[in-house]
A and B are shown apart, each in its own frame.
Chain A
């Protein structure tokens, strides 16, 4: 039996042509539609959130929003100048604590302990730390600062946010430092630089743009955090008096005003959400632009 006979006798109906109506092909087509549907469903909430935040929040945008104090119930107008200042202050403190802390730890991971067991363990702990719920971090800051000093304070809020920012900063800074080519280090060492000089004057400056991107992302995430602030920084109706006093923040203002029955305060909550989302959007786009430009 020649191969041609075999083909015509034994496999009479098996053709190599694609049959659009065969169950296998149909199944494939249906699943492709399902995958497209999944992607569409995933994007609906994002579009809806952005739409409603803009529609409900844009009406209140104006200079008053950034200069006035939050209004009491049933009073018209007002803004959240103190909350914006409070967010800047708490996030600023958090950045002041977590950036040096995180970058030094990242230098150790990338420059002095790369591919060692110690680095592996620190890496592991950092990843697990980033999974600790933000509310638990708030509880920790409460126990550490509020109980010790006896008062809710902006500083306590700053500590909580610093703990939340730390893993992001360590990870992005370590990645940025590791992506600096080894030739750069060898060249510096070859010219007689010490390890301190190599790291501070050569490797770190080369990694700075990428580190800044990571830090910006961490800051924008921290500014939107609410849970760790509600019982550390608490809230305040007035302008900030110092770091050892309770302080207003934009995210806690959105939370407080979202759950009251007063129209004016609800509008302010939407405006606050718009400012928070706008900030996250801008930092995300900027950091994406920065990383793409590098490639």
Chain B
């Protein structure tokens, strides 16, 4: 620091008042927008809750357990939709988790040279970028004609099991589950791969040094070490599956029933919203908002858990 004895010289050492205020103002403005991003989430929760309030007041928690959707008498309950959301997401996870983790292992181990591996990573990423509505279109015209005979076979040979006791007519819960599994597969693969790659090399070397084969190492060392990251990825995928709308709406059949058979038609909370929102009014709107709030709450819990898990992995690195 140069001691300022001369007034005219000290001017050069200090910023002008205006530039100091500009700095402060700039930091303030960016801070405002930064905090506003976080507030958007709260705004969504608040706004949807307020608009759902009339329906919450009228139907209470019974909204989740009753299955009626009657705009004439203004009585609403969303059990078939909540059920459909849970069942389709469950089917999707059942298919996508083993395959997704398999893909992640395939892309994190050194089976292939990086020159072949990298394009495959890109292709899997691309699968995540395809718009939902395109999967729906593909589902209607390609997947449903392909799956209906298979569904019929299941019904004929295993029809005594409640799971297959309805005749497949094209769209159905099982088609929606399969389309969802395709859509969440890239998420599981990408996040599991990150978790697997993050496992310290020393662990692998130690296992090999003790004489373990490649897959003994994977099952007993690598997968346990990456477990919380993989679970985080699966949770994120679950959140995505529960909220996915267009593809599901186009292939699930949109029937207002909760059937134990996966070959039956059904609906999810998001398909209910997609089908009814534009033409609804009054208490029906409020009930749809209530359904949206339930979906929001479910995905929020799942996403927060996923975020905490993925974070704990990142902190370990």
> B-contacting residues of A (Cβ < 8 Å)?
24-25, 27-28, 31-32, 34-39, 41-43, 45-46, 48-49, 52-53, 56, 101-102, 104-105, 107-109, 111-113, 118-119, 121-122, 124-129, 131-140, 142-144, 147, 152, 163, 166-167, 170, 194-196, 199, 220-221, 224-227, 230-231, 234, 251, 254-255, 258-259, 266, 269-270, 273, 276-277, 280-281, 284, 288
Contact of B132 with A132 in the complex, beta carbons under 8 Å: no
Contact of A143 with B51 in the complex, beta carbons under 8 Å: yes
Instruction: Please give, as numbers and ranges, the residues of chain A lying within 8 Å of B295 by CB-CB distance.
Output: 133, 135-136
Of the candidates B36, B44, B126, the one whose C-beta lies within 8 Å of that of A132 is B44
- Interface set, chain B 270-284, CB cutoff 8 A to A: 270, 273-274, 277-278
Instruction: Please give, as numbers and ranges, the residues of chain B lying within 8 Å of A56 by CB-CB distance.
Output: 141
Contact of A280 with B129 in the complex, beta carbons under 8 Å: yes
Instruction: Please give, as numbers and ranges, the residues of chain B lying within 8 Å of A196 by CB-CB distance.
Output: 19, 22-23, 26
Residue interface mask B48-91, A partner, CB < 8 A = 1: 10110000000000000000000000000000000000000000
With contacts A24-B216, A135-B274, A139-B292 taken as known, whether A108 is within 8 angstroms of B136 at the C-beta atoms is no
Instruction: Please give, as numbers and ranges, the residues of chain A lying within 8 Å of B273 by CB-CB distance.
Output: 135, 138-139, 231
Give the size range of B's interface with the partner: 35 or more
Secondary structure of the B contact surface, majority rule: helix
* Of B2-10, B158-166, B197-205, B298-306, the one with at least 4 CB within 8 A of chain A: B298-306
With contacts A105-B36, A134-B243 taken as known, whether A27 is within 8 angstroms of B215 at the C-beta atoms is yes
Secondary structure of the A contact surface, majority rule: helix
Return 28 A-B CB contacts under 8 Å, by A number: A24-B216, A38-B102, A42-B189, A46-B127, A48-B142, A49-B130, A52-B142, A56-B141, A105-B34, A112-B30, A118-B34, A127-B303, A132-B299, A132-B303, A133-B242, A167-B37, A195-B23, A196-B26, A227-B274, A230-B277, A254-B134, A255-B246, A258-B250, A276-B133, A277-B130, A277-B131, A280-B129, A288-B122
Contact of A133 with B299 in the complex, beta carbons under 8 Å: yes
Question: Does B27 sit within 8 A of A, measured CB to CB?
Answer: yes
Instruction: Please give, as numbers and ranges, the residues of chain B lying within 8 Å of A273 by CB-CB distance.
Output: 131, 133-134, 137-138
Contact of A35 with B111 in the complex, beta carbons under 8 Å: yes
Contact of B106 with A38 in the complex, beta carbons under 8 Å: yes
User: How far apart are A70's CB and chain B's nearest CB, in angstroms?
Assistant: 16
Instruction: Please give, as numbers and ranges, the residues of chain B lying within 8 Å of A102 by CB-CB distance.
Output: 37
Instruction: Please give, as numbers and ranges, the residues of chain A lying within 8 Å of B215 by CB-CB distance.
Output: 27-28, 31-32
Contact of B23 with A108 in the complex, beta carbons under 8 Å: no
With contacts A52-B142, A108-B34 taken as known, whether A226 is within 8 angstroms of B131 at the C-beta atoms is yes
Contact of B103 with A39 in the complex, beta carbons under 8 Å: yes
